Each structure stands twice: as C-alpha cells, then as structure tokens.
Amino acid sequence: MAVVLCLIHCSMWAGWPSTFKIFLVTWLTGYFTEVLGVNFQFLYGLYYYPDVISGPLLLGVPPMAMLIYFPLGYICFIMGRVVVGGLSTQVTGLRLIGVAIFAALAMTTHDFSNDPFQSTVRGLWVWPNGGAYFGVPLQNFIGWFVLTGFFSIIVGLIANSASAMKYISAPKTPNFYLPAILLYILFELPQMLRPILLDPTPINLAGSGIAMFATTIPAVAALLVLYGQKAPRHDHQ
C-alpha cells in the first residue's frame, strides 16, 4: 500500500517517467547493496535472510521485501526538500547534499527504532555475530546512512531533469506534501506502541523511545517549515 501511495504522489510531483526512474533507483540500489551485503558482507556487515520468512530469495535477498526502500526513501527525500528548500525548483550544490544528508538521517533513525525488533525478535534477518545495539552491529546503521545519502543524490539529480521540472515547477499547496510526512509518522507508530501492544521489553522500550523522541524530529521539522513559513508575522512590542 505504501508503495502504491508513494508512486501516485511522486507522479503528481515529478511526473510518471521520473517516478519510474526514482522507483527503480531506490528499489534496485537497495536490493543490490543487500545482495552484496549478504554475499560479501559489503556495507552492512555479516547477516543473512532465512528461507521463506521474508519471501522468496533471489541471490540470498527477498526482492519483494526490498520494495520498502522506495516509500521510505521517497518520503525521507521529500521531507529533506521541505526543510532544505526546493519543492518547486532545482536543487544543486550544497543544498543537494543537504537534502541527501537529511533524508539519510531520517531513514537511519527509523532503522534504529525498527531493526532490533525485526531481526533479533522476529528473525526476519539474522546477524550471526550479533552487535552492540540489541544484537545489531553499528556498521549496519552506517550502511543505511551511506546508502540513503547515495540514492537521495541520484533522486535529486533525476528531479533536476527537464522532464521532471515540468511537473515540479507547478505551484502546489503545503497540503500536497503533508501525506509524505504523515506516512513517515505512520511508519513509526508500530515502534511507538510495541511496549503497550506487546511487552515492555528493553528492545521494545528502546525502539519506542527512539520512535517518539528521535524519528519525530525530522517530521516535526518538516511540518514547521512547511506550515510555519505561511504563518502571519507578528510584531513584538
């Protein structure tokens, strides 16, 4: 569902040709870096996907599960554009890098709140040697940051193309970008509620705390910039 919603939203923002490019870049970059990770310990460290649990495996990685890279990457990218600027203009130079860094921080923070539960508790993927953060190695989070920053720059370059700018340059209200921010918050709700809906274990409490007090920071920042800039100015006495 998140994939479909983001495909539709992205098509309204940048047009269908650019949307397909952005989808392929995020999905395939995520998939092939995980193939390298599973088979050669590239970027993330030593881990593997058990058979069947996450879906059929291709080269040791479930391709369908890797679809999550698109909606997560897209909404983090949009929040970066909201905060750094450039919702209807080209973004180049330091601002392009700034958007990539913001998106990478937002996506990596999400992984901090979610990875230990999905791997250590549910076993959707396995870290045989464990790690410092509830069984997850810190290298994994560095890998997420690098990967997201990398494909966010590529997505930014796609958005700068003439075909994309025909759509992006069209004026849009702040409400147009709101669904992307709300979807990011929706991704965090399961982590926030796990101590209540499941058990108040250290893993669930840590994930809930990060979801409530860390992953909300980029979302709140995006909301403040998106709507705060439209707020009327008041003179101070």
Beta strands in the chain (DSSP E): none
Per-residue confidence (pLDDT) for residue 228, from 0 to 100: 87
pLDDT tens-digit readout, 99-135: 999 999 999 999 999 999 999 999 999 999 999 999 9
Per-residue confidence (pLDDT) for residue 229, from 0 to 100: 64
DSSP-derived letter for residue 234 is: -
Q: How far apart are CA 230 and CA 150, in angstroms?
A: 32
Burial of 155 (0-12, 13-18, 19+ CB in 10 A): buried
Q: Which residues contact 28 (CB under 8 A, 6 or more apart)?
A: none
9 vs 230, higher pLDDT = 9
